[in-house]
Structure 1
């Protein structure tokens, strides 16, 4: 009988991202986490729920940076709230009820990363219409009718969040929900697959990708999506 320490399972996001993207995740908020003083100052007056999600998200980011071989430096937001990573590092942070995670990579290998997690529940009334193009709404409803075991409205919402998080660092500008047309692809596993986001309208002559491709996963009450954009993409 083995007496070795039982290894923790790999992060769920590791199923969605290439090996050179380092992921850390938490399904609870660890006690005793010490933030960088500049990070702590950001949430000094925040309500408890916000403190917990921010603190655990930064805890995941610090651990992921260490796994990448980089110091666990402060990860502060820019004016739009997007994390500012150390030089030569790209990354993304996500949090929702019962889940927090961070993913980081060296910019020489990965141009941009976007991750998102959300509860695998129906979207509140009116949200699908607010975030989805008419053609996407039709696709979602058709998918829900054909494969009701997956909350396709949530998968779409999450995919658009991952698209935004991947796009924003490239251009340092926002991308509206209506500026990406997302289509989904299922794999042999009915609870996972891929997606493609076509940028609308195409951004010409600026070196920006016209399409982003990612992966999605529905697991244990969560929906997760992730994109890793390579330098040559």
Structure 2
């Protein structure tokens, strides 16, 4: 399996349906990104790295909102850090070294979104065992034997982060790494997360993944009919 070839700036869009607007930023943070006063107050004591992440990912989110016809607005962290979106909008944000992105949609067209980006590098020692089951690790070994160029451990971590980001806005409840069993289709570049908790609005969450330019992304968008 070769690295996915996508147009510059279209990595995230390649794994989301047409109802979703995605914006992403590679490399150094844009000089023109600004915050609303309410956002400035939330980040006033943050270190420079955190401030730049916070600012640029909101720059991406407001650009994506503009493509929906939604005016710019403060995007404040809410419970467990989840961003509070304007009325009628659902969305998700992500950032990692050298990459920032956001995805948004109208609530009547998309029920929830979860996106996550990670460097396309192996996880640090010990992290995979803490975030996966024996069955998942066995599947990763099989994927790696056939497609060794993909960092499957990191991709699993990213998929589970995307699952949580899609889950929390709907339920308002925590979901641990152990509460979702993720299986990939390496050829189709999709994944399915089977949810293992009671009182759940979904039995499964389906997503897509891609990797290019040293970045791996996973995305879930639940449509109203899903």
**TM-score range relative to shorter protein:** over 0.9
Matched, 1:64 2:64: yes
Distance 1:203 1:146 in 2: 37
- Shift in Å, 1:42: 1.1
TM-score by length of 1: 0.91
Q: Which has the larger radius of gyration?
A: 1
- Cα-to-partner distance string for 1:73-93 (whole Å, 9 max, x where unaligned): 001111210011001100000
Q: Secondary structure at the match of 1:150?
A: coil
Could you say which residue in structure 1 is the equivalent of 2:12? Answer: 13
Give the conservation status (yes or no) of the 8 Å contact 1:120–1:222. yes
Residues 180, 195 of structure 2: 8 Å contact kept: yes
**Structure 2 residue matching 1:56: 3-state secondary structure:** helix
Please name the residue that 2:22 is paired with.
23
Question: Which ranges of structure 2 fall in alignment gaps of 5 or more residues?
Answer: 1-6
In 2, Cα distance between equivalents of 1:33 and 1:120:
26
Q: Deviations over 1:16-50 (max 9, x none)?
A: 00111000100130013221111111111111110
Q: TM-score, normalised by structure 2?
A: 0.94
| 1:210–1:202 CA distance, 2 compared to 1 (3 A) | farther
Instruction: Give SS of 1:209's match.
Output: coil
Does the 8 Å CA contact 2:143/2:186 hold for their aligned counterparts? no
5 Å-filtered alignment, 1:49-128, equals: 49-128=49-128
CA distance 1:97–1:10, shift in 2 (3 Å): closer
- Indicate which of 189, 196, 211 corresponds to 1:200: 196
Inter-partner Cα distance in structure 2 for 1:98 and 1:145: 29
Higher relative contact order (CA 8 A, sep 6+): 2
Which residue does the alignment assign to 2:204? 211
Aligned residue pair count = 219
Cα distance in structure 2, aligned partners of 1:79 and 1:172: 8
> CA RMSD for the aligned pairs?
1.3
Look up the SS of the partner of 2:194 in the other structure: strand
Q: Which runs of 5+ in 1 are unaligned?
A: 1-7
What is the Cα deviation at residue 10 of structure 1? Answer: 4.7
